Amino acid sequence: MNPTVLKLGGSVITKKDRPETVDGERIDRVAAEIAAADGPLVVVHGGGSFGHHHAHEHGLTTTAGSHDVAAVLDTHGAMTTLNGVLRRALLDRGVPAVPVHPLSVGWRSVDGELSVPTGAVETLLGEGFVPVLHGDVIAHEGAGVTILSGDELVVELAVALGADRVGVCSTAPGVLDGAGRVIERIDSLSAVEDVLGGSEATDVTGGMAAKVRTLLALDAEASVFGVEGLSAFLDGEQSGTTVA
């Protein structure tokens, strides 16, 4: 059975306007809904107020790097802390969550090509564990380290694992049109380019337009939904915007 890959946006599990503050209530809610789901699952979470703060401070993006070990450790350390909080909540609900840190396994070549070997994730999944990964810093040939975004990671994992379903949970109820309504289905970027344009909530790892672009490139059907849509998605139902 092919796994489901679930991305939890940083804004879902942290208070994005306060440095290194988790949203405990949201994390508990999300953990309870994941615990109620069946089937193999990989979880990826973003940085929210943990990762972006340090990334910004050290001038890190997915292309701009640093050789400063403090840039590595501040960013990676904060993400590891957030990963531990989320995993603790999952464990408390009986989910056999285990950490997988991209810094240990991923890298970019000098021309920016991303490699993330997934043998450990696949084997953990096969043995019944729930790997929990996160946006991180990774080694980048010639640039020191750069950011690996949670969104990039979701795509890498979905392709490598042959994911059946991909879910992207953020604080918006889906991809919104100009009038603030959830777009039910997106089959091509050109059809929604006008309304997406850029993202008002820009972060170092790209906004909604970038998310949709990468999700469109997937074979698997992807869903973009809010926290209130998570339970339906995990139950196998349509939720938020379907990007196919």
Residues contributing to the site for its own copies (CB under 8 A): 67, 69, 72-73, 76, 91, 96-108, 115, 117, 119-120, 122-124, 126-129, 138-145
User: Smaller CB distance to its own copies: residue 91 or 176?
Assistant: 91
The least distance separating its own copies from the CB of residue 17, rounded to whole angstroms, comes to 29
Classify the C-alpha dihedral 20-155-171-59 as positive or negative. positive
Closest-CA residue to 130 (of 43, 236, 11): 43
Other beta carbons within 10 Å of 243: 28
One-letter identity of residue 139: A
Q: Which of 124/186 has CB closer to its own copies? A: 124
Report, in Å, the least distance between residue 86 CB and its own copies.
Answer: 14
Given the DSSP bridges, would you call strands 107-108 and 41-45 parallel, antiparallel or unpaired?
A: unpaired
Shorter beta-carbon distance to its own copies: residue 24 or 77: 77
Min separation Cβ 37 and its own copies, Å:
17
* Min CB(16)–its own copies separation in Å: 26
For its own copies, the closer CB: 116 or 186: 116
Based on CB atoms, which residue is closest to its own copies, 120 or 201?
120
Tell me the residue ranges of DSSP E strands in the chain. 4-8, 41-45, 97-99, 107-108, 114-115, 130-134, 136-140, 144-148, 165-170, 185-186, 221-226, 241-243
Q: Which is nearer to its own copies, 59 or 142 (CB)?
A: 142
Q: Name the amino acid, one letter, at 41.
A: L
In this structure, are strands 130-134 and 97-99 parallel, antiparallel, or unpaired? parallel
Alpha carbon 174 to chain centroid distance? 15
Q: Report in angstroms how near the CB of residue 241 gets to its own copies at its nearest.
A: 32
Q: How far is the CB of 103 from its own copies (least distance, A)?
A: 7
Q: Which residues contact 25 (CB under 8 A, 6 or more apart)?
A: none
